[in-house]
Amino acid sequence: MGKKVIQILVDRDCTPPGQPGPVYVRTSLWMNFLRNLNRSSDFNISDFDIKEISIYERKRKKPDPEPTRIDDGQILIVNWDAANGDYLCGSDDVFLYFQTQRDKRNALLRQRRIPPGPAPGGKILCEFQCGSGMLFQGAYDAIFGESEVKVVEARLPPEARPKNEEMRKCQLEEERKWTNTSAVVPWHFLNHPIVRALPGKKVTLFSRILWARTKVESKYGEESQPLFNFKTDMDQEDFFSYRQRDTIYRGWFENWGKEWVPLLIAKPREEGAWARFKRWRKEPPRAVLLAKCHEDGVMLASTMWMAVPGAEDLVRQILTVDPKVVAKAHDKYFLCRKIFDRSLVILVYFALGVVNRAWGSVIHAFLSSHLPCLLWLLQLLFHLPHLIFGFVFPSLADSPLLDDVGVVWLSLIIYRLWQTMIRDRPHGVNIFQFAKSGRQAFWDRM
């Protein structure tokens, strides 16, 4: 079996004349990162053929453009901001490529095209994709598909260059809310093949509360390498990505499809236990790394900066893990949740039956005296078919058939509620956390 090919999608080349290159508009840290990874662990870089690909340069190559086939490799990495649609940097070519070449992405994941036939299953890893410091939803829709993941809308100050020191201080404080130097593994996914080798403490009930979990932490030092290699009208320190260069994530995902598994969640700066509990009650975990098995491969969506010191163990696992092992783990997670959800529905059904038989008349009397509006709403839903059909077809107003229609109507509402709030809610999210976004999905289905 030959070497595995790692392709890294980058921006356009801006190497000055007479200087060694390539030098890309946005610095790609992956080549140096993988070389250092080779020296510091059992990862063997000689097993991989690493290529940096600029679609911008290939399509403008003379005399004939050079086509880009991402399915010629086994692993595809989308460099930070390389697909954010910025026409000055060449990111619009990567953005349009994913929008129009979905078949190439699926072929990469299937790995059916490459002889002599390595183990099926390619991998796609996407670093954070921002525009003006804020996560760009369009890039994730283009790479992974529309409505697969949804990024948070960071409320960052619109002024890129603060006019005074006080404004700059406020800007930095606001940006710090969306970044941090570490991200933690959710306790119920600690055995996932991609994150189970990460260093961390043994998880107990007490450590779950204190967030003393397995985590990925940036060990960034004061590096002189610039992030942007083209002339701009402001200093690099004024760019959002440069100011927060020590962070490991920039924002997070606030929603995702039910086939995605959250592997890392944001650990907000300076957040107390009570504030964390209040946030836990009403919003999903702030995922910064999501994994999904698609076709025969694995897709990894992130809002992280991956090629940074401290993320070596995570990247090594991503590059070397067998997609079949990941798929097996996901099937196990989905089966466990399916059993739990259905058991919960059956338990609630029998509990309501017991309560109705034992205290049905008492509950009815209580609702009549204390919550008449709720009782009126339930009666309205049950008798709604009588109101509708009785108005259109007066001869059916007193038909007992409409009682059965009322039962079916209520059953349909309950089924849609279960389908939206329980069956199709994102993985790793409980019902209470999903309630806010689930309500809109429920009304859309009804």
User: Do the domain assignments include residue 387?
Assistant: yes
What CATH number is given to the structural domain containing 38? 3.40.50
Q: Can you give the residue range of the structural domain that contains 387?
A: 336-445
Q: What is the pLDDT of residue 416?
A: 79
User: Do the domain assignments include residue 363?
Assistant: yes
User: Do the domain assignments include residue 326?
Assistant: no
pLDDT at 6 over 60: yes
User: Do the domain assignments include residue 263?
Assistant: yes
Residues 250 and 356 in one domain: no
Q: What is the pLDDT of residue 191?
A: 87
Residues 94 and 169 in one domain: yes
Q: What is the pLDDT of residue 205?
A: 47
In whole numbers, what is the pLDDT of the chain averaged over residues?
78
Mean pLDDT over residues 362-379, rounded?
A: 69
Residues 95 and 27 in one domain: yes
Q: What is the pLDDT of residue 231?
A: 63
Residues 247 and 314 in one domain: yes
Candidate ranges 35-49, 72-86, 148-162, 353-367; pick with highest mean pLDDT:
72-86
Residues 208 and 107 in one domain: yes
Which H or E element spans position 247? none
Domain count, the chain: 2
pLDDT at 26 over 70: yes
Q: What is the pLDDT of residue 77?
A: 95
Of the pLDDT bands very low, low, confident and very high (cuts 50, 70, 90), residue 398 is: low
Q: What is the pLDDT of residue 162?
A: 56
Question: pLDDT tens digits for 30-84?
Answer: 988 888 887 766 678 888 889 999 999 888 887 778 888 998 889 999 999 899 9
Residues 347 and 316 in one domain: no
Residues 277 and 236 in one domain: yes
CA distance 243 to 164: 16
Which of 270, 288, 321 finishes a domain? 321
Least confident of 127-136, 210-219, 305-314, 383-392: 383-392
Which of 321, 352, 374 finishes a domain? 321
pLDDT higher for 350 or 109?
A: 109
The one-character DSSP state at 428 is T
Contacts of 242 (CB under 8 A, 6+ apart): 227, 228, 236
Q: What is the pLDDT of residue 270?
A: 66
Residues 204 and 258 in one domain: yes
Which of 321, 350, 367 finishes a domain? 321
User: Do the domain assignments include residue 331?
Assistant: no
User: Do the domain assignments include residue 83?
Assistant: yes
Q: What is the pLDDT of residue 207?
A: 47
Least confident of 122-126, 172-176, 257-261: 172-176
pLDDT at 389 over 60: no
CA distance 402 to 413: 16
Least confident of 51-60, 148-157, 240-249, 382-391: 382-391
Mean pLDDT over residues 270-276, rounded?
A: 67
Question: pLDDT tens digits for 412-425?
Answer: 777 777 777 778 88
Mean pLDDT over residues 266-273, rounded?
A: 73
Burial class (CB in 10 A: 0-12, 13-18, 19+), 96: middle
Question: Is the whole model's pTM more than 0.95, yes or no?
Answer: no
User: Do the domain assignments include residue 328?
Assistant: no
Tokens 């392709």, located at residue: 7
SS3 3: coil
Mean pLDDT over residues 247-257, rounded?
A: 89
Tokens of 314: 């995570």
pLDDT at 390 over 60: no
List C-alpha distances in Å: 183 to 136, 186, 254, 310: 21, 10, 15, 11
Q: What is the pLDDT of residue 330?
A: 94
User: Do the domain assignments include residue 283?
Assistant: yes
Give yes or no for a contact between 141 and 99, defined as CB atoms under 8 angstroms apart. Answer: no
The one-character DSSP state at 423 is I
Residues 373 and 290 in one domain: no
Residues 312 and 356 in one domain: no
Of the pLDDT bands very low, low, confident and very high (cuts 50, 70, 90), residue 149 is: very high
Residues 192 and 262 in one domain: yes
Question: pLDDT tens digits for 204-235?
Answer: 544 444 444 577 777 766 565 677 777 655 55
Q: What is the pLDDT of residue 211?
A: 45
Q: What is the pLDDT of residue 105?
A: 92
Q: What is the pLDDT of residue 99?
A: 92
CA distance 183 to 314: 12
CA-nearest of 181, 150, 197 to 305 is 181
List C-alpha distances in Å: 419 to 258, 346, 424: 12, 14, 6
- Strand boundaries in 226-346, DSSP class E: 249-250, 253-256, 261-266, 287-294, 297-302
Residues 138 and 190 in one domain: yes
pLDDT higher for 101 or 43?
A: 101
Q: What is the pLDDT of residue 357?
A: 74
